[in-house]
Amino acid sequence: MNTAKEKNYYAALLLQDGTVFHGKGFGHPKKTIGEVVFNTGMVGYTEALTDPSYKGQLLTFTYPLIGNYGVPTYSAKDEHGIPINFESDRIQTQAAIIHELCETPSHWASTKSLDAWLNEEGIPGISAIDTRALTKKLRVHGVMMGALEVSPDPIDLESLKKTLSEAKAYGEQDFVREVSCTSPITYGKGRKTVAVIDCGVKYGIIRQLVTRGFNVTRFPYDTPADTILSHHPDGVLVSNGPGDPKTCSATVRTVSALLESGLPVLGICLGVQIIALALGGETYKLKFGHRGQNKPCTDLETGLSYVTSQNHGYAVQPDSLPDTGLKTWFINADDCSIEGLKHDSKPCIAVQFHPEASPGPYDTSFVFDDFREMVIEHH
């Protein structure tokens, strides 16, 4: 099968506001649609592209050179059998949008180029466009739907416009259903069990739990609370995932019941939003979201600030917290949006950022230690 290095592909990215970016195509030649977002990280493209939270999105990398260390093998795993370099078993984004593609990667663990990897997994990419201009547009106007086509033939923009006009809005789609497991999966051999409600959980989260001595059982996102409780878990983690949290009605009902059970609960990313909804709070869509490994958050209890890894486009509404029992734990140092919550009487904590990193700084991995202490104290 031809790759972009062997054959020149045309590519065009059409935004909802009518803006068109023409560039060079790579990866798999096809047409795709999704919400156009940007990530400000300098590294970690293999982790980002396989992060289930990016399902339904066309991911723009703001760092100008992507692919320079290639792509490692999926077979590389840690001592727990969890993949080291990827956050799921496949690329989750609809497409990759970059400025410059490195076609000759150099790294001892590299087995293929970024171009070859995307081509194998049926994912299109566009390079040689002004990603700074694209990012500035998204920051000013907010994220928006877009259509991308990669083809050996010149792009028919009218056809692309028609495709985009007929597309469902990102927030109207149930992406969690597409990225959750379909039956329980178990990891680790610890004495205590954590039930993970899988809304698109990253492997990095499972790794952090297993390395802390937990046995982890991963449940589909719509598993009823009674089914989860029948497995006698010692704690519950509500995972990250894609889309609007308000589409996750089944998960919200499950989490509401689990909170009533008194089990220790930890929410991460989408998990914090679902917990807030389960307790009567509200969520809203951010203008352009927080995506990258350089997002500063402040702990309101200590006054300390941390650099965090993030990937989310929705947040908890502060005005909705009264009567929920939740209080703000962390805030974003840039825009003061909520980045963490604690319940005033239940063993429940939740963070909007990713304490497991993967990729990114490990400054906030203590969140998993706090959860572990909650589980131990509860029993």
- Domain residue spans of the chain: 9-170, 176-378
Per 3-state DSSP, the chain is made up of helix, strand and coil in percentages (nearest 5) of 25, 35, 40
pLDDT band at 6 (very low <50, low <70, confident <90, very high): low
Structure tokens at 258: 């689990």
Mean pLDDT value of segment 173-190: 96
Residue 1: pLDDT above 60?
no
Element (H, E) at 63: none
The string of pLDDT tens digits covering residues 39-78 is: 999 999 999 999 999 999 999 999 999 999 999 999 999 9
Give tens-digit pLDDT for 188-238.
999 999 999 999 999 999 999 999 999 999 999 999 999 999 999 999 999
- The chain-wide mean pLDDT, for the chain, equals 96
**Taking residues 86-111, what's their average pLDDT?**
97
**Residue 4 pLDDT greater than 80, yes or no:** no
pLDDT tens digits, 329-351: 999 999 999 999 999 999 999 99
Question: Class of 176-378 per CATH?
Answer: alpha beta
Secondary structure class of 19 (helix, strand, coil): coil
Among the listed residues 28, 290, 312, 354, the single catalytic one is: 354
Residue 2 has pLDDT above 50, yes or no: no
The residue annotated as part of the active site, out of 35, 47, 87, 356, is 356
Is there a catalytic annotation at residue 107? no
- Across residues 259-286, what is the average pLDDT? 98
Percent of the chain with pLDDT over 90: 97
**What confidence tens digit (pLDDT) does each residue in 76-90 have?**
999 999 999 999 999
356 counts as catalytic: yes
| CATH of 9-170 among 3.40.1190.10, 3.10.180.10, 3.50.30.20, 3.40.50.720 | 3.50.30.20
Run of H or E residues at 71: none
pLDDT > 50? residue 312: yes
Per-residue confidence (pLDDT) for residue 83, from 0 to 100: 95
pLDDT at 7: 73
pLDDT at 375 over 80: yes
The mean pLDDT value for 118-141 works out to: 98
| Residue among 155, 158, 213 nearest 189 (CA) | 213
Q: How far apart are CA 25 and CA 49, in angstroms?
A: 17
- Listing DSSP states for 123-190 in one string gives -EEEESS-HHHHHHHHHHH--EEEEEEEESS---HHHHHHHHHTSPPGGGS--HHHHS-SS-EEE---
Alpha-carbon distance 238 to 241, whole Å? Answer: 10
pLDDT of residue 64: 96
Selected catalytic residue, list 199, 248, 269, 348: 269
Q: What are the strands of the beta sheet with 283-299, ordered from one edge?
A: 185-187, 214-220, 192-198, 235-238, 265-268, 348-351, 338-343, 326-332, 283-299, 305-316
Q: Is the pLDDT of residue 3 over 60?
A: no
Whether 269 sits among the annotated catalytic residues: the reply is: yes
pTM equals 0.96
Residue 71, token pair as written in the block:
């792509």
Question: What average pLDDT does range 279-301 have in this prediction?
Answer: 98
